[in-house]
């Protein structure tokens, strides 16, 4: 985000860091929203989260000014705050109780690898498409693909499969 803000004319690192952290409030707010929507079927949660990602990346990639870019960052972070607990709860629910703690550890490790790879992928994409802002529009397209997969896939928590409650939520 600070690099995107700099490309849009905000060159003060302290200002960029501050406003990036303000936009990052979307993550804890997203986790709070998840806590209120956690009974939704996984498919619906994933769809909502990928819509937020697509919208956030689109706003970031097409921003003409830093405030618009920061709004996109906030929307994106809101989706991330919802997605992380959705994926963790979903993954753990599919595991037998005896191995859930090991599964949580593996999931956390995989997420950490993803956090390491994320800036590398964004930087590589930015170099291929001519800048960071156009790279965000590519990421928006990736989020739309994620949305399509969420809508077409058969994503259920373990309890939904066992109880057949997906139909009641749909």
Residue 149 CB neighbours (<10 A):
13
Report the pLDDT value the prediction gives residue 17, as an integer from 0 to 100: 93
**Chain-centre distance for alpha carbon 81:** 7
Query: Do residues 60 and 133 make contact, with C-beta atoms less than 8 angstroms apart?
Result: yes
Sign for the pseudo-dihedral over CA of 62, 68, 71, 73: positive
pTM for the full predicted model = 0.88
> Could you please report the per-residue DSSP string of 76-135?
HHHHHHHHHHHHHHHHHHTS-GGGHHHHHHHHHHHHHHHHHHHHHHHHHHHHHHTSHHHH
Say if residue 170's pLDDT is above 80: no
Q: Can you tell me the mean pLDDT for 8-26?
A: 95
Find the distance separating the first CA and the last CA of the chain, reported in whole Å: 36
Q: Count the alpha carbons within 13 Å of 8 in the hemisphere toward its beta carbon.
A: 20
What is the spatial distance between Cα 20 and Cα 161, in angstroms, rounded to a whole number? Answer: 40
Note the pLDDT tens digit of each residue in 32-50.
Answer: 999 999 999 999 999 999 9
Structure confidence at residue 164 as a pLDDT band (50, 70, 90): low
Query: Do residues 2 and 66 make contact, with C-beta atoms less than 8 angstroms apart?
Result: no
3-class DSSP assignment, residue 164: coil
């Amino acid at each position: 985000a600070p690099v995107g803000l700099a490309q849009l004319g905000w060159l003060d690192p302290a200002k960029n860091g501050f406003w990036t952290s303000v936009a990052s409030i979307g993550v804890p707010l997203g986790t709070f929203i998840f806590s209120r929507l956690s009974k939704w079927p996984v498919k619906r949660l994933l769809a909502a989260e990928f819509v937020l990602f697509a919208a956030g990346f689109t706003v970031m990639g097409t921003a003409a000014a830093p405030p618009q870019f920061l709004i996109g960052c906030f929307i994106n972070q809101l989706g991330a705050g919802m997605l992380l607990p959705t994926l963790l709860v979903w993954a753990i629910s599919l595991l037998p109780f005896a191995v859930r703690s090991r599964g949580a550890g593996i999931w956390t490790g995989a997420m950490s690898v993803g956090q390491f790879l994320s800036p590398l992928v964004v930087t590589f994409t930015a170099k291929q498409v001519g800048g960071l802002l156009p790279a965000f529009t590519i990421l928006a397209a990736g989020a739309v693909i994620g949305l399509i997969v969420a809508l077409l896939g058969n994503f259920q928590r373990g309890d939904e499969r066992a109880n057949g409650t997906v139909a009641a939520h749909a």
